[in-house]
Structure 1
Amino acid sequence: MGIIQWIVAVFMAIPIWFVYFTSVKKITNIEVFQKYRRKPAIFIMWHGRTMMLSPMICLGGMRAYVVASRHKDGRMMAKLQRLFGLRAIYGSSHKGGVSVLRKGVKVLARGDHALCISPDGPGGPSLRIKDGALYFAQMSGAPIIPVSYSVSRAWIQERWDRYLVALPFTKLNINIGNPVFVPRKASAEDIEKYRADLEKFMVAQMRELDAECGIESPEQDLTASEFKRQKREVAAAKKAAKRKKK
């Protein structure tokens, strides 16, 4: 199974590189990336907007770890990210994530490594920041840096996160937000304010990029389980409609 996953990962990585190199790029606030690419930092990006950031991280020489789910899909994506130079910490940064928090803080303590986290993963709600990234920042002193991108040519997958698959020869707009520091002594109320402010910024950041590229932004609050339920209901309705016609 492991060998098959590696083979699949290679076949997934090749088109990603092709799309990246054939795209016309516009990167806003690149100086933030350059400043923190070899420093402890926590880069956060929406679960549906990760594809085109991996090549940038790789070519930028960033030393980074991703927080990945132990689910088979998470392990598959971790293998793909490994081909772009990113290693994996397995587990959840939100539910029962004490060991993940400990490992992540240890990575950041090296002084030249970053963490990459999708704060609405692995199963939503979409475009809602869970508190894991905030705790990493609070415990380590490393800043949170919100990143997003959009493209003018894409296939938007029918998933809870509306995963954006960029197509060759696209316009690629990447926006890197300013660093956000969470004080070590921040209270629970402080953490919630940082979380809400980051979430508001990241949603606006993505929607502005989508408007520039002319694509529709995904909706908030959709979970993987809710999306599956909706699909089952649609399928059941179609079957019922066919029976009535008969």
Structure 2
Amino acid sequence: MKKIRYRVILLLIPLIALFIRILGRTIRWKRRYEFRKDRGKIYALWHGHALGLALFGMDRNIVVLVSRFRDGEIAARLLKHLGFEVVRGSTEEGKSHKGGRTATKKLIELLKEGKNVAITVDGPKGPPFKVKKGVVYLAQKTGRGIIPVCVKFDEYVKLNTWDRLIIPKPFTRGEVVIGEELFVPPTEDLEGARKRLEEILNRLSSDA
């Protein structure tokens, strides 16, 4: 039964993408953040804000890291339909079964080429609102800045999922909230950098 449901969802991806595009067009954005002006930036966000950023960032050639879990295949196909580039795997070093080394190497190459990369820093399975070290490792290795991102909506539904996924209501007002850019020097301890980013994101999402 689960396999049948999974296959049905895959078949419905184009329709779901169309629905998301229509929903995105109804959102009245308060302020516009122009992702196209950035070069080689790492956008860090909570998993629960992923839909919000997707609604705003469609067709801007942002690279998104997507897990190799089965659910990741659904997300990857959907994101491609929405105009994102996808890298499958994880930034968790040493976890080769999750595509850790391969994904990290690919992301480093793309960042050096000037591509912007978005990472849900508590994904793909949580725990929620806890930053994993992969994103700060990536920033340290490349010297690129991390831009903390949260998405705020006036009216929305918050699902009872592990990530507390936020789904905006049609025609609501939305805003992309950007935190101060964070750099990770070569000598900085990754745990300290991870905590810094976590504090910034928690503050941003609390304000949002």
TM-score normalised by the chain length of structure 1: 0.74
Report the equivalent of 1:200. 199
Report the equivalent of 2:56. 56
The one-letter amino acid of 1:50's match is A
Displacement of 1:99: 2.0
The one-letter amino acid of 1:42's match is I
1:108 aligns with 2:111: yes
Question: Aligned ranges for residues 56-75 of structure 1 at < 5 Å?
Answer: 56-59=56-59, 61=60, 63-75=61-73
Report the equivalent of 2:88. 90
Unmatched 5+ residue regions in structure 1? 210-246
Q: Deviations over 1:79-133 (max 9, x none)?
A: 111112212211121251222211110111212x111100000111100100111
Q: 1:89 to 1:34 in 2, by over 3 A?
A: closer
Q: Name segments (4+ residues, structure 1) moved above 6 Å.
A: none
User: In structure 2, what is the Cα distance between the partners aligned to 1:6 and 1:46?
Assistant: 24
Report the equivalent of 1:165. 167
Report the equivalent of 2:28. 24
The one-letter amino acid of 2:19's match is P
Moved more, 86-95 or 64-73: 86-95
Q: Given the alignment, which residue of 14, 18, 36 partners 1:10? A: 14
The one-letter amino acid of 2:192's match is K
Displacement of 1:64: 2.3
Q: Deviations over 1:153-172 (max 9, x none)?
A: 22222211111111201121
Unmatched 5+ residue regions in structure 2? none
Equivalent pair of 2:49/2:150 in contact (CA under 8 Å):
yes
Question: Aligned ranges for residues 37-56 of structure 1 at < 5 Å?
Answer: 39-56=39-56
Q: Given the alignment, which residue of 143, 146, 158 partners 2:145? A: 143
SS at match of 2:11: helix
User: In structure 1, what is the Cα distance between the partners aligned to 2:12 and 2:157?
Assistant: 19
Displacement of 1:57: 1.9
Equivalent pair of 1:65/1:89 in contact (CA under 8 Å):
yes
Equivalent pair of 2:52/2:166 in contact (CA under 8 Å):
no
Displacement of 1:187: 3.6
SS at match of 2:117: strand
* Rg larger for: 1
Report the equivalent of 1:128. 130
Equivalent pair of 2:24/2:55 in contact (CA under 8 Å):
yes
The one-letter amino acid of 2:102's match is S
Q: 1:186 to 1:27 in 2, by over 3 A?
A: farther
Q: Deviations over 1:172-193 (max 9, x none)?
A: 122022321212x2243xx222
SS at match of 1:148: strand
RMSD (CA atoms): 2.1
Identity %: 29
Equivalent pair of 1:16/1:52 in contact (CA under 8 Å):
no
User: In structure 1, what is the Cα distance between the partners aligned to 2:170 and 2:37?
Assistant: 29
Equivalent pair of 2:146/2:182 in contact (CA under 8 Å):
yes
User: In structure 2, what is the Cα distance between the partners aligned to 1:79 and 1:173?
Assistant: 26
Equivalent pair of 1:143/1:179 in contact (CA under 8 Å):
yes
Displacement of 1:195: 1.4
